[in-house]
Structures are given as structure tokens and as C-alpha cells.
């Protein structure tokens, strides 16, 4: 049985009380290098209760990752789960870290690069390069994909990523590809345009219809597909060079997704709905609220709703704290 390294990106736990000093918003500076220096100094010197990276993240995506990790632990499988973090860089799920707020996603207040357009992805790649050269407190593992690929020759390397995170790590991943003995051993599940050069040959898009077979929300489809493939690789039911054919077969055997006649609304109306619900249920997460919102005949993509939920909840929390 061959070993597998599984990599996915982080989503911060929505109920975590993140200290403002550990939020990317607090380290805005003129240059990327200055911002990076301030950020890493804060993380290394933070007086916080450090926790396993696996316990820090939440949502449907990370419930799947926890299932993968639990299966590995219970059955002694040759599988290592790793985290691609905008705040810490490359991590093992067992690394002890501080709660933090940082992302490669554009348009978010905690994005490492608040600049949009073509400049944003370039700065994210520069940020990731700096992360690969930094050794955080209590993190002892490899810091770049090239290091991992060299240390664990013969492993299959499987990624489940959003387009913005794939953009950020693309330079590092291309360098790692150069030392990979068997190019079939790099498999990437991600959506978006084909804009990654030589990495495009390793990217397998996941069709929306797969959701009817694998379940969950669209936001977790990449990681659910990865979990299905991991199980088949470990059981010997498929080989790395057959993964693309397998995913295509699963898609062709899946039912089409149902369509709904819902009305798309503006961000203001979404925020107003969330505000009303949070005043009644202060601890309500975005998932049940989105279900209720859609049930009332409104349309909103999960990622958009989650972002508005985060901003609305933070604003309500700030107003509450200011009145105390």
C-alpha cells in the first residue's frame, strides 16, 4: 500500500474568538515584507492557548478532513494530512498553533493581499514564498512542497484547493514537480480557469453533478471527491494514473443537480436577514441560516452567504462590546 500526502486549505472556525492582534487586519503596512515581519512576530510571541490545527478549522469542508484523519488513525493507514495556511504556511494537522485570521481569498478583510486584480495573486505567491522560509514556533515539519516531495519519495500527493489558494502555492508546487519521480503522483482537485501552466495537466475539475453522488454542499465538493479517491487509492481499487478516468466515470454515473426557482437578493438584504436571526439566536452558524434563507425563496451562493455572515456577526459583536 503506497503512502498518500493529502493537502487542503484552511477555513477558520466561525465561532472562534480571534484576538485582534492575530488578525491580518491589524498588520496593514506599506510593503508586503513589513507586513510579513509584523505578522510572523505576532504569531511567534503570542500568549495564547495553542491547539492542533485540525481542531481550529470548521465547516463542512473540515468535517470531511476530520473523517479522513480519523480513518487514518483507526486503521493505521499510510496517510498524512497537511494544511495550506495563509497565516502559517505548510502545516501538519497535528501542529500546535494559535487561533488566527488570514486568507488568500480576495476581497476579504483578512486577506494577505487586499489588492485585487492581477497584483493580488502575485503578492499571495510572494507571501507563500516567505512562509516557506519561516520556521514558526512549535512547527518542525517541512515548509515547502519541494521538501515534502524529496523527503517522501514514492508517496502520492493529492490536493483539494480553492482557485485562490492554488494560485498562491503554484510557484512552490512547480518547483516540487521537478523533483517528483512519477508525475502521475501529483493530483489536484480545484475549480476555475486553466491558468496554472504545467500544473494544468494535474488539475482534475469536479463537476457539480458529483454532488448528487457524494453529498454535502458545493463548497465541500473538492474535498469530498478527494476523500472518495483516497479510499480507492488505499484499497488498491485504482491507481494514480487512473484517477482522472475514475472521476469522469463517477460524474457520468451521477444524477443532474435539481434546479430551484429562487430570487437573488442584494448583500444588504442578506445582511439584514442575518442580523435579525442573530439577534434571536446569537450563536447561530451560517449553515442553518442559509437553509432558512433559501427556504423562504431567496438565492445566495454559500461562499457569499458565509462571508456576509462573518462580517455581520463581527459587526454585531463589535457594537455589543462598544456598549459594555
Model confidence, pTM = 0.79
Report the alpha-carbon distance of residue 147 to residue 137 in Å, rounded: 19
Q: Say if residue 30's pLDDT is above 90.
A: no
Per the model's pLDDT, the better-predicted residue between 208 and 133 turns out to be 133
List, for residues 61-76, the tens digit of each pLDDT value.
Answer: 899 999 999 999 999 9
Mean pLDDT, the chain, whole residue set: 87
Per the model's pLDDT, the better-predicted residue between 259 and 231 turns out to be 231
Residue 81: per-residue pLDDT: 96
Mean pLDDT of 227-249: 95
- For residue 199, name the pLDDT band (cuts at 50, 70, 90): very high
Residue 193: per-residue pLDDT: 65
Residue 269: per-residue pLDDT: 92
Residues 6+ apart with CB under 8 A from 42: 21, 22, 26, 27
Looking at 9-13, 168-172, 201-205, which range is the least confident one?
A: 9-13
- For residue 219, name the pLDDT band (cuts at 50, 70, 90): confident
List, for residues 292-301, the tens digit of each pLDDT value.
Answer: 898 888 888 8
Amino acid at each position: 500500500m503506497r503512502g498518500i500526502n493529502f493537502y487542503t486549505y484552511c477555513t477558520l472556525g466561525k465561532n472562534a474568538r480571534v484576538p485582534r492582534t492575530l488578525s491580518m487586519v491589524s498588520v496593514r503596512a506599506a510593503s508586503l515584507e513589513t507586513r510579513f515581519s509584523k505578522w510572523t512576530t505576532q504569531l511567534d510571541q503570542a500568549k495564547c492557548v495553542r491547539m492542533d490545527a485540525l481542531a481550529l478549522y470548521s465547516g463542512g469542508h473540515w468535517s470531511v478532513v476530520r473523517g479522513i484523519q480519523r480513518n487514518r488513525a483507526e486503521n493505521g493507514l499510510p496517510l498524512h494530512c497537511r494544511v495550506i495556511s495563509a497565516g502559517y504556511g505548510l502545516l501538519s494537522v497535528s501542529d500546535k498553533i494559535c487561533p488566527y485570521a488570514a486568507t488568500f481569498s480576495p476581497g476579504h478583510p483578512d486577506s494577505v493581499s487586499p489588492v485585487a486584480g492581477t497584483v493580488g495573486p502575485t503578492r499571495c505567491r510572494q507571501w507563500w514564498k516567505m512562509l516557506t522560509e519561516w520556521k514558526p514556533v512549535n512547527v518542525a515539519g517541512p515548509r515547502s512542497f519541494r521538501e515534502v516531495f524529496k523527503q517522501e519519495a514514492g508517496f502520492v500527493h493529492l490536493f483539494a484547493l480553492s482557485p485562490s489558494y492554488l494560485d498562491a502555492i503554484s510557484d512552490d508546487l512547480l518547483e516540487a514537480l521537478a523533483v517528483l519521480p512519477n508525475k502521475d503522483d501529483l493530483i489536484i482537485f480545484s475549480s476555475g480557469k486553466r491558468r496554472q501552466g504545467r500544473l494544468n495537466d494535474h488539475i482534475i475539475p469536479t463537476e457539480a453533478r458529483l454532488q448528487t453522488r457524494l453529498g454535502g454542499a458545493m463548497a465541500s465538493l473538492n474535498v469530498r471527491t478527494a476523500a472518495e479517491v483516497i479510499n480507492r487509492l488505499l484499497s488498491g481499487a485504482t491507481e494514480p494514473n487512473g484517477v482522472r478516468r475514475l472521476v469522469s466515470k463517477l460524474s457520468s454515473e451521477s444524477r443532474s443537480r435539481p434546479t430551484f426557482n429562487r430570487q437573488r437578493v442584494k448583500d444588504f438584504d442578506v445582511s439584514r436577514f442575518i442580523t435579525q436571526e442573530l439577534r434571536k439566536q446569537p450563536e447561530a452558524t451560517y449553515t442553518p441560516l442559509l437553509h432558512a434563507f433559501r427556504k423562504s425563496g431567496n438565492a445566495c451562493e454559500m461562499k457569499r452567504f458565509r462571508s456576509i455572515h462573518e462580517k455581520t456577526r463581527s459587526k454585531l459583536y463589535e457594537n455589543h462590546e462598544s456598549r459594555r
